[in-house]
Amino acid sequence: MDQIYIQGGVALHGTVKSSGAKNAALPLLAASILADGPVVYHRIPHLLDVTTMMTLLSWQGADVTYDDQHRLHIDTRSADKPEAPYELVKTMRASSLVLGPVVARFGHAKVSLPGGCAIGARPIDLHLRGLEAMGATVQMDHGDVVVDAPGGLHGAQIDFPQVTVTGTENLMMAAVLAKGTTVLENAAREPEVVNLADALRSLGADIEGDGTSRIVIRGVERISGGEIHTIADRIETATYLAAGMITGGDVTVTHTDPSLLTAFLEKVEEAGAVVECTNDSIRCRVDGRLRACDIQTMPHPGFPTDLQAQFMALMCVAEGHSVIAETIFENRFMHVQELLRMGAKVHLDGHLATVHGVAQLAGAPVMATDLRASASLVLAGLAAQGETILSRVYHIDRGYERIEEKLGRLGARIERRSEAGHGDRGVMLYA
Ligand code: EPZ
């Protein structure tokens, strides 16, 4: 397994381009199952999770190819396997996003029940209850969820007891070809949900209300192929802006969208960062030291849970103490034990973390446990004095495209090595 080596203490400066959003790309790719024609995708990021979704679609019988302009072409008209096997689902729980489209198209689905992950149990009970409301039967079969709707799905009124992003996406896709109208109440308002709705509308779906907590989908006979554009990755964007702030540098992210990050930008401004935005770029810098401030993670448009770990890294070196409340997942403080190894002062009490900022972190060998925890450890390593060695780097590769290359171009002293410890296999030692 690879490791990332960081020599910290260098202020990062420069410009980095945002990739397409992982959490938009995954449902967008699943939506190809509904299309009665080829779909061309722009700005799909090259990430492990995306590769897994492409592998799953190919396994189902779809034709999946890249062209020489890095556009992804998916034609699912030849797909004939309405299933998602355990060996694929266990590597990426978001494979459950094929449930809604597969049932809508084939009237049947057999998808391995996704296990939990480091940050929580991650059940999909709300997805399944929604499909039952639309007329499907749901049974468990040796670890697989078997969903049947031989007469097709029908519209339904679905009230989510709590906001679920992929639950909203799954049921929105299921409703596109259902007979009648489906209303999703307390729906997720994330930008990735809006990206999916925009894409489905461009293929012929009848959807309104996306971006609000009430989405109405009127079923249609079929939707065609077409071209789909992925929005910028707001979590990646904020992570690189945080890399500039935590090192006392000055970083601009381009090809992004400031309107996707309102809650995060308000918080870093409250902490003393200087933020400058254009319609497709964001620049953040810090004069002196950040001031501690509190956050509480919430569904969009609140502060994103996917930025909680990164923000905690910022607060570890801020002036004062901050209280971080994680309200979405039950175990999303796995990065804390590793940050403590670097000299951070964090106290945990249930879903609250109290961070007392220190003037300086110290580099150390640390272990990645989940995708966003890994990002917070990279940020801490960039700010720390000395060397940080991050193991289990595959976690970070699930959500960040070429992270050491992008950080290296901002001046970071960072390199990826194989576990053997040799900087070989053509790995470049960036600045
Ligand atoms: C999506 O996960 C994202 N993943 C996550 O990003 C993100 O953290 C999360 O939304 C919250 O914003 C993708 O979009 C692929 P949820 P999702 O359903 O949809 C509970 C990352 O780092 N719940 O909104 O799985 C659940 O346990 C990843 O990029 C149920 O109880 O999250 C959680 O406590 C991590 N039953 C809460 O709801 C259900 O049926 C929110 O989960 C569904 C969810």
Question: What does the pLDDT look like over 324-378, one tens digit per residue?
Answer: 999 999 999 999 999 999 999 999 999 999 999 999 999 999 999 999 999 999 9
For residues 94-119, average pLDDT: 92
Residues enclosing ligand 1, CB less than 6 A? 22-23, 26, 94, 120-127, 162, 164-167, 305-306, 328-329, 371-372, 399
For 203-234, write each residue's pLDDT tens digit: 999 999 999 999 999 999 999 999 999 999 99
For residues 169-195, average pLDDT: 98
Ligand 1 closest atom vs CA 94: 15
Res 309 pLDDT > 70: yes
The residues, any chain, with a CB within 8 Å of residue 337's CB and separated by 6 or more, are none
Res 122 pLDDT > 90: no
Catalytic site residue 117? yes
- Give distance in angstroms: CA of 169 to centre of ligand 1: 11
* Atom 30 of ligand 1, nearest CA residue: 123
Best mutation site among 49, 126, 328, 396 for ligand 1 pocket (most ligand atoms within 8 Å of CB): 328
Q: Calculate the alpha carbon distances from 62 to 34, 39, 55, 402 in Å.
A: 12, 11, 9, 27
Res 259 pLDDT > 50: yes
| pLDDT band (50, 70, 90) for residue 93 | confident
Res 284 pLDDT > 60: yes
Same fold for the pair 3-19+232-417 and 22-229: yes
Does the structural domain 22-229 have CATH classification 3.40.50.300? Answer: no
Best mutation site among 93, 166, 194, 376 for ligand 1 pocket (most ligand atoms within 8 Å of CB): 166
Tokens of residue 210, six digits: 């996306």
Average pLDDT over the chain reads 95
- Give distance in angstroms: CA of 161 to centre of ligand 1: 14
Res 431 pLDDT > 60: no
DSSP string, 220-233: -S-B--EEEEPPB-
* Atom 6 of ligand 1, nearest CA residue: 306
For 373-398, write each residue's pLDDT tens digit: 999 999 999 999 999 999 999 999 99
Best mutation site among 19, 22, 23 for ligand 1 pocket (most ligand atoms within 8 Å of CB): 23
* C-beta separation of 71 from 40 below 8 A: yes
For residues 297-320, average pLDDT: 98
Ligand 1 closest atom vs CA 299: 12
> SS3 of 102, please?
helix
- Give distance in angstroms: CA of 35 to centre of ligand 1: 25
Q: Could you count the other beta carbons within 10 Å of the beta carbon of residue 111?
A: 26
- Give distance in angstroms: CA of 167 to centre of ligand 1: 8
For 44-90, write each residue's pLDDT tens digit: 999 999 999 999 999 999 999 998 888 999 999 999 999 998 988 88
Spatial distance between the Cα atoms of 418 and 255, rounded to a whole number of angstroms: 32
For residues 117-127, average pLDDT: 89
What pTM does this model have?
Answer: 0.96
Rg of the chain over all Cα atoms, to the nearest angstrom: 22
* Atom 34 of ligand 1, nearest CA residue: 329
**Assigned superfamily of 3-19+232-417:** Enolpyruvate transferase domain (3.65.10.10)
Spatial distance between the Cα atoms of 175 and 183, rounded to a whole number of angstroms: 9
Among the ranges given (193-197, 267-271, 277-281, 423-427), the one the predictor scored with the smallest mean pLDDT: 423-427
| pLDDT band (50, 70, 90) for residue 1 | confident
Instruction: Please give the share of the chain, as a percent, with pLDDT higher than 70.
Output: 97
- Give distance in angstroms: CA of 422 to centre of ligand 1: 37
For 398-418, write each residue's pLDDT tens digit: 999 999 999 999 999 999 998
Give domain limits for the chain: 3-19+232-417, 22-229
From the candidates 117, 277, 293, 316, which is the catalytic residue? 117
Query: In the chain, what is the straight-line distance between the N-terminal and C-terminal CA atoms, in Å?
Result: 23
Instruction: Please give the share of the chain, as a percent, with pLDDT higher than 90.
Output: 90
Task: Give pLDDT, residue 423.
Answer: 47
Tokens of residue 321, six digits: 């103490």
Task: Give pLDDT, residue 388.
Answer: 98
Task: Give pLDDT, residue 92.
Answer: 85
Cis peptide before 301 (omega within 30 of 0): yes
Spatial strand order in the sheet of 108-112: 83-84, 108-112, 144-148, 137-141
Task: Give pLDDT, residue 68.
Answer: 86
| pLDDT band (50, 70, 90) for residue 428 | very low
Spatial distance between the Cα atoms of 7 and 383, rounded to a whole number of angstroms: 9
Look at residues 410, 416, 411 and name the one whose alpha carbon lies nearest to residue 429. Answer: 416
